[in-house]
Chain A
Amino acid sequence: DIQMTQSPSTLSASVGDRVTITCRASQSISYWLAWYQQKPGKAPKLLIYKASSLQSGVPSRFSGSGSGTEFTLTISSLQPDDFATYYCQQYNSYWTFGQGTKVEIK
């Protein structure tokens, strides 16, 4: 099974900050990686697919990069609506999520 490890688990940041979340796969997954945003009591929302492709309707301040085993999600300028939990997901072999990164207000 492919394991996904996100870091950090919690991130404290201010509005306007540049934020980066890292996701590592236990083996190569090529570019088969997605990022999701989840707010309390809500369903996850797809942000990025195929490691770096922006889902339709998602603001351009979100970007993804990486391939193989190391990936990043970057928010270029954090907005109030971005405080949430973010999950990476591999879909190279079945599906596995990372443990999540909570972005909270500093």
Chain B
Amino acid sequence: EVQLLESGGGLVHPGGSLRLSCAASGFTFSTYSMTWVRQAPGKGLEWVSAISNSGTSTYYTDSVKGRFTISRDNSKNTLYLHMNSLRAEDTAVYFCARESDYSDFDWWGQGTLVTVSS
């Protein structure tokens, strides 16, 4: 069965950095695009970033461009989100998800909480 397991969340000061990881199993990781979605406390879902199966194409929502970097290591079946210059408004649960062949998100991890606070 497909499994996605995020890690790396925690408490960080404004302006700080954090790297999230998403370990994938149960499918051929290198053949799927992957994505990060976040959810601020009590709020809705917000798409953050996506990466093609090879890693050559990356996409970001405007609010994180220049601060976040998505990457992947297909040899380790792992997706990453490098987050710099963190702001209070980046506080959220971050989910990794698999993009289906149609580009909807068919499998999701359980999420990891990032709290940006002084």
Contact = CB atoms under 8 A, between A and B. Distances in A.
Interface residues of B, number: 21
A91 B106 contact: no
A8 to B, nearest CB: 14
B47 A97 contact: yes
A91 to B, nearest CB: 5
Contacts of B37: 44
A99 B103 contact: no
A94 B35 CA distance: 11
Interface string A29-70: 000101010100011111001100001000000000000000
B108 interface: yes
Q: Which among A34, A95, A97 has the highest number of chain B CB atoms within 10 Å?
A: A95
Please classify how large the interface on chain A is, using the bins under 10, 10 to 19, 20 to 34, 35 or more: 20 to 34
B103 A44 contact: no
Contacts, number: 57
At the interface, is chain B mostly helix, strand, loop or mixed? strand
Nearest to A50: B102
Interface in A90-106: 91, 94-100
A72 interface: no
Nearest to A6: B44
A91 B44 CA distance: 17
Given A32-B103, A50-B102, A96 B47 contact: yes
A91 B110 contact: no
A31 to B, nearest CB: 10
8 contacts: A49-B100, A49-B102, A50-B102, A94-B59, A97-B44, A97-B47, A100-B44, A100-B45
Given A44-B95, A49-B100, A87-B45, 13 more contacts: A32-B102, A43-B108, A43-B109, A44-B105, A46-B107, A49-B104, A55-B106, A89-B104, A91-B102, A95-B50, A95-B105, A97-B47, A100-B45
Interface of A: 32, 34, 36, 38, 42-46, 49-50, 55, 87, 89, 91, 94-100
Which 3 pairs show the lowest CB-CB distances between chains A and B? A43-B108, A34-B104, A95-B47
